[in-house]
Structure 1
Amino acid sequence: MGKNKIIEIKNLSVYINNLKLLNNINLEISKNEILLIYGPRNAGKSLLARSMVALNEELFKGIQTTGQVLFLGEDVNNIEKRYLRSSIAYSEPTFVDNINFLTLTEVFNLALRMKPCDISQEQYMLLEKLNIAHIFSNHSSLKSYEDFGNWTIGDKISFIIFLSLARNPQVFIFDSILDHLDDFMHKDIKDFLFDIKEDRSLIISTRNLSLFSDIAEKIVFLDKGEIIYKGSIEGFLLNFPV
C-alpha cells in the first residue's frame, strides 16, 4: 500500500441470502481527501461504507463477503473493533433518531467517558465552529437540552460530528446523514469539513451530487452494486451530465 493510501478495497463482493449486492469493488482512499460515494437508492452505498468499519456482519444474517478491506494495510476484520471504530468514525441517519432514547449526559458518558459540564476549552471551540456552543454555555442551557427532543435535526447532526471529532479519528464516513441538513446548515458544515480535511480523510455517501461536488476531489458512482465510474468530479460530470 502506498504511503498516501489510508483505505484500500480489493475485489470486495457482498452477498445477503445469496443475493449479490456489491460486485467486485476495487477502490483506494487517500489521506487528506474528500471522496463522494454517489448513486441512487439501493445502489450499495451503505453496504460499501459499512464494509470499511466491518459493520455489515453485525447487522445482517445470511451475509457473505469476499475480497478485502484494508485500513493502513491491515484487514479490518483482524483489527480490534473498538480501535477500528475510533480510527474510522461512521455515522448514518439512524444515529439522529437513536440518541432520542438517551439523555445528553448518557451520550457523553457512553461516547467520551465524561460529563457535558467537563468539556475542555478546545472542545468548546469545536462546538462553536459547529454552531452548537450555545447548548453548552451554562448550567441552565445544559439542563434545557438534556432531552434530545429539544434539539433540532441540524443540531443533532452537528453534535454527532462533534462526538466523532472528539475521538480524533483518521477517517470520517458520513453515510447519507448530511443529506438531512437544510441549505444554511449545509454551507456551514461543508465549510467546516473542508477545513478539517487536512488532518483527516472524509467519505460522504449521498444521493444528492450537487450538495457536495464543490468540496470533493474524487467520486465513486455506484449503481446496482457495481462501480460505474471512479475518478475526478470533473470527469464524472463530463461523462454523466446531471
Structure 2
Amino acid sequence: MSILKINNLSKTYPSGVKALDNVSLELENGMFGLLGPNGAGKSSLMRTLATLQEADSGTATLDDIDILKQPAEIRKVLGYLPQEFGVYPRITAEQLLNHLAVLKGISNTSERKELVKYLLDKVNLYEKRNKSVKGFSGGMKQRVGIAQALIGNPKLVIVDEPTAGLDPGERNRFYNLLADVGKDVIVILSTHIVDDVRELCTNMAIMNFGEIVYKGAPQSAIEALDGQVFQKMVSRDALNEYAENYQIISNKMVGGQPLIHVLSETHPQNGFEQVKPNLEDVFFSKINTANVLV
C-alpha cells in the first residue's frame, strides 16, 4: 500500500495566474478522481506530480520519496499518460512499447520482450501489435498510452483527461482497463467529465481556480445535496430572470429548451419539481457556475 501526501502545494505562473493555491490531498491505492473545469489547475497539479514543472512552495511525497526534491527517484515508480499522448509516425505498437521500455531502463532483451507482450495483452492490443499506432483509433491510442504508463511497475499512475474525444464504446473499454489498473496502485484520474469519476472512483476532489473546493467520496457529496435540488423546463428568454431569482447550478438543452437545476433548502414552488441529486449537481454547486445561456 502506497500513500501520496500533498501539502500546501502552490504555483503561480509568470503571467500572474495562480494555478495551484495551497493544495493538500492524501491518497492511497485505488482510483482517485480529480474533477474541475478547464483551467481549474488540474493539469498544473498533474505536471507538478509528474516532475514536469516545479512548485513555488509546499511538499509532495510518495511513501519515502520527496517528489519535488527527488525527481529522478519518483520517475522510476511513476506512470504518466498526458492529455496529448503523441506517438511516433509509422511505428508499430510493439516497437513503441519496446522503445519506451528501453528509455525506462529495462535493458534485458528477453525481459523487455515478455513485458511488452504482457502489456499488449493487458490492453487487448496484442493482435494489433504490428500495426502502425498512427492509424489507431482514439481509444486504441489511449490503451497504448496506458500500456506505456505501466512500464516498470509504477506505484503512481497519472492520467490526464484520458477519455476526451472517445466514443461511448471506447470510453467503456477504457473504464474497464483503468479499474483493473487501480486495484494495485494509486491512479489519479484528472478530468472535466463527470461520468469518468462517477463510473470509476470511490474518492475524489473538485478543483476550481487552483483550489480544492471538495474532497471525499462522490456518494457522500451527492447525499449532502439530497432534498435541495429542483428542476424546471424554462424558455430561453426567461433564463436571466431565473438566474436573478434562484441559485441555478446547471442548465442543459433538452428538446431545444433549457432544463435548469437550482439549489434551494426549501421548495421553490413556481412549477419546480424536486429531483434526486447526481454528481453533476455536486460538481456545478461546488464550482458555482450556472453557464446561463443568453
With the shorter chain as reference, the TM-score category is 0.7 to 0.9
| Count of residue pairs brought into register by the alignment | 219
Q: CA deviation at 1:124?
A: 2.9
CA contact (8 A) 2:33 2:201 kept: yes
CA displacement 1:110-165 (0-9 Å, x = unmatched): 311278xx732x643542342211112xxxxx2xx2x4332222111111111122
Task: Choose the corresponding residue for 1:214, options 175, 199, 208.
Answer: 199
Q: Relative contact order (alpha carbons < 8 A, sep ≥ 6): 1 or 2 greater?
A: 1
Tell me the distance in 1 between the aligned counterparts of 2:180 and 2:41.
29
Contact residue 5 and residue 28 of structure 1 kept, 8 A: no
Alignment correspondent of 1:61: none
Aligned equivalents of 2:222, 2:88: Cα separation in 1 = 39
Distance 2:50 2:121 in 1: 29
Distance 2:95 2:116 in 1: 18
Highest Rg: 1 or 2?
2
How much does 1:235 deviate?
1.9
- Structure 1 residues 126 and 9 mapped into 2: Cα distance closer, same or farther (>3 Å)? same
Summarize deviations over 1:65-89 as a string: whole Å, max 9, x none.
11111121332122142x4223121
User: 1:82-101 maps to which residues of 2 (within 5 A)?
Assistant: 83-95=73-85, 98-101=86-89
Residue 151 of structure 1 is matched in structure 2 by 136
Corresponding residue for residue 10 of structure 2: 13
Amino acid in structure 1 at the alignment position of 2:195: S
For the aligned residue pairs, the C-alpha RMSD in angstroms reads: 2.4
- Structure 1 residue 52 and structure 2 residue 49: aligned? yes
Equivalent of 1:28, from 26, 36, 39?
Answer: 26
Q: Pick from 149, 167, 170 the counterpart of residue 182 of structure 1.
A: 167
Does residue 1:103 correspond to 2:76, yes or no? no
Supply the distance in 1 between the matched residues of 2:163 and 2:75 (Cα, whole angstroms). Answer: 19
Given that residues 206 and 214 in structure 2 are in contact (C-alpha distance below 8 angstroms), is that contact kept between their aligned partners in structure 1? yes
Query: Do the aligned partners of 1:219 and 1:236 also contact (CA within 8 Å) in 2?
Result: no
Does 2:189 match 1:204? yes
Unaligned 5+ residue runs, structure 2? 226-277, 281-294
Identity of aligned residues (%): 24
Secondary structure of the structure 2 residue equivalent to 1:77: coil
Equivalent residue letter for 1:103: I
Q: Which residue of 1 aligns with 2:261?
A: none
Q: Contact between 2:43 and 2:160, CA under 8 Å: does it hold in 1?
A: yes
Corresponding residue for residue 248 of structure 2: none
Partner of 1:133: 126
Q: Tell me, what secondary structure is at the counterpart of 1:50?
A: helix
Equivalent residue, structure 1, for 2:273: none
1:47–1:102 CA distance, 2 compared to 1 (3 A): farther
Greater shift, 160-169 or 106-115, is seen at 106-115
Q: Please tell me whether residue 232 in structure 1 is matched to residue 232 in structure 2.
A: no
Which has the larger share of helix? 1
Moved more, 69-78 or 10-19: 69-78
Q: Does 1:40 align with 2:34?
A: no
1:86 aligned partner, one-letter code? K
Q: Whole-Å Cα distance in 2 between the matches of residues 188 and 16 of structure 1? A: 37
Structure 1: gaps spanning 5 or more residues = 58-63, 137-141
